[in-house]
Chain A
Amino acid sequence: MSNEMISSTADTNILPVSESGEIVFERVSKSFTTNTNPAVDQVSVKIPAGDLVVLLGPSGCGKTTLLKMVNRLYEPDSGKIWMGGKEIHTLPVNELRRQIGYVIQQVGLFPHMTIQKNISIVPHLLGWEEKQIIDRLEMLMQLIGLPVSYLPRYPRQLSGGEQQRVGLARALAADPEILLMDEPFAAVDAINRERLQSELIDLHGKLNKTILFVTHDVEEAFRLATKIIVMRAGKLVQYGTPLELVTQPENEFIEDLLGSSNILRKLSLVNVNSILKARKNQSIFTGGSQPVERPGTVLHPEDDLRSVVSLLLCSGRDSLPVKDSENHLLGTVGYSDLREMLISNLPSE
Chain B
Amino acid sequence: MELLQDAFQYYINNQSFFWNATRQHLVLSSFAMVISLLIALPIGIWIAKRTGIAQVVINIFNAFRVVPSLAILFLALPYLGLGFFPSLIALTVLAFPPVLINTYTGIRGVDAFTIEAATGMGMTKTQVMTKIEIPLAIPAIVTGIRIASVEVISSATLASFIGGGGLGDFITRGFALYDVPIMLVGAIPVALLALSSESFWSLFLRRYQVPEN
Contacts and interface: CB of A to CB of B under 8 A. Distances in A.
Interface stretch (A51-59, A95-103, A242-250): A95-103
B210 A154 contact: yes
A339 interface: no
Interface residues of B, number: 20
B211 A154 contact: yes
A112 interface: yes
Given A108-B113, A112-B135, A102 B121 contact: yes
A206 B127 CA distance: 33
A104 B122 CA distance: 14
A106 B113 CA distance: 7
B116 to A, nearest CB: 6
A94 B124 contact: yes
Give the one of A111, A156, A157 with max B CB within 10 A: A111
A156 B120 CA distance: 22
B116 A73 contact: yes
A121 interface: yes
B129 interface: no
Interface string B121-156: 111100100001001100000000000000000000
B118 interface: yes
A94 B123 contact: yes
B49 to A, nearest CB: 17
B136 A108 contact: no
B213 interface: yes
A276 to B, nearest CB: 36
A104 B118 contact: no
B114 interface: yes
Interface of A: 68, 71, 73, 94-98, 102, 104-106, 108-112, 121-122, 125, 154, 156-157, 170, 180
10 contacts: A98-B122, A102-B120, A108-B113, A108-B114, A111-B114, A111-B136, A111-B210, A112-B210, A125-B121, A154-B210
Given A97-B122, A112-B136, 6 more contacts: A68-B120, A94-B122, A94-B124, A111-B114, A121-B121, A122-B122
